[in-house]
Amino acid sequence: MLHYLARRIVSTLPILLGVALVFFLVFNLVGGSERFLYNILPPKGRTPETINQYREAYGLDRPVIVQFLDTVGDMVTFDFGRSESTRQKVSYLIARYVPASAALAVPAFAVEIALALALAMLCARTRGRWPDRLVGVLSVAGMSLPMLALVIIGQRFLAFEAGLFPISGWTRGLGAVRYLALPWLLWVTVTVGYDVRFFRTALVEEQGKEYVRAALAKGMPRRLVMRRHVLRNALVPILTYVVIQVPFLLTGSMLLERFFSIPGIGELLVQAILSYDLPVMKATVTFYTLFFIGFSVVTDLLYAAVDPRVRLG
């Protein structure tokens, strides 16, 4: 177990190196450093002299390989300096933007997973009959609606015309729930369909296994077999699937954060990209990478905890 963790931590380094390489290549291919220099200077100050001055100050005149290693160094030490747009420390910015993202993603995700599991159980129990079919049709309908269309419909009809929610905005503290309600609703609507279908498949597959029949042959009522054997076994694939999704919550919420002016980490990244704010871009990319790696480790650990056949090492 410790051996496994140690190996996973060591293997993070080459992954970070790869991410840094891709990031660096893309950034330079689109002329990122020139745009960066152009953006940080006020229009009147953009003379070749000042640009060169800044180029030297940011080390962008050094050989590409040195710049690359510098980026890697930033990532490993998680020290990115200050944001070019706000002059705040990048680590401070990240810490300030994460809570809003979490407030959007965590409750929406939790409700959605619970709802999906309940609906999938219903489907599995009534397989082929009307409740199963109804949920199936609704799931496909939900999956077919693009998030963007739902955002527009929601803001126009539910927020603007019906006045059920504020159109967008943010406040610190518990008051944020008012602003989060509509994005939560949209989130659950768009994602629950996929999960219902996946969970249902996992449950139905387990239901067909011989040990389910054996449990019934022991005299156990179907409901109990469902809970004690089918659900527990289906939980193995479901857990993996759910935990592996967690990092994508951040990317998934980018659109919602943007449309509803929620000051989350996605919003921070989008702003950084738009303003070619190099330190913030580096920091958010690193943050995402570590988040992904961290959760894949968590997936493995949970997997081993649930299934006695899995050994980590």
Q: Is residue 219 at the binding interface for other proteins, with CB under 8 A as the rule?
A: yes
Long-range contacts of 245-252, Cβ-Cβ distance < 8 Å, separation of 24 or more: 245/109, 246/109, 246/295, 246/298, 247/288, 247/291, 247/292, 247/295, 249/105, 249/109, 250/101, 250/105, 250/288, 250/291, 251/288, 252/105, 252/187, 252/191
Q: How far is the CB of 136 from other proteins (least distance, A)?
A: 17
Q: Is residue 133 at the binding interface for other proteins, with CB under 8 A as the rule?
A: no
Between 152 and 214, name the residue whose CB sits nearer to other proteins: 214
Between 1 and 224, name the residue whose CB sits nearer to other proteins: 224
Of 5, 46, 211, 251, the residue at the interface with other proteins (CB under 8 A) is 211
Q: Is residue 307 at the binding interface for other proteins, with CB under 8 A as the rule?
A: yes
Q: How far is the CB of 220 from other proteins (least distance, A)?
A: 6
Q: Is residue 128 at the binding interface for other proteins, with CB under 8 A as the rule?
A: yes
Q: Is residue 312 at the binding interface for other proteins, with CB under 8 A as the rule?
A: no
Contacts of 198 (CB under 8 A, 6+ apart): 238, 241
Q: How far is the CB of 142 from other proteins (least distance, A)?
A: 27
| H helices, E strands: number in the chain | 13, 0
Rounded Cα distance between 281 and 83, Å, is 9
Q: Is residue 232 at the binding interface for other proteins, with CB under 8 A as the rule?
A: yes
Nearest to 291 by CA among 270, 265, 260, 312: 265
**106-125 binders of other proteins (CB under 8 A):** none
Of 122, 134, 150, 220, the residue at the interface with other proteins (CB under 8 A) is 220
Q: Is residue 300 at the binding interface for other proteins, with CB under 8 A as the rule?
A: no
- φ, ψ for residue 156, nearest 5 deg: -70, -55
Q: Is residue 233 at the binding interface for other proteins, with CB under 8 A as the rule?
A: yes
Rounded Cα distance between 57 and 51, Å, is 10
Q: How far is the CB of 221 from other proteins (least distance, A)?
A: 5
Of 172, 174, 309, 313, the residue at the interface with other proteins (CB under 8 A) is 309
Nearest to 169 by CA among 99, 271, 262: 262
Q: Is residue 214 at the binding interface for other proteins, with CB under 8 A as the rule?
A: yes
63 SS3 class = coil
Q: Is residue 218 at the binding interface for other proteins, with CB under 8 A as the rule?
A: yes
Footprint of other proteins (CB under 8 A): 127-128, 208-211, 213-222, 229, 232-233, 236, 306-309
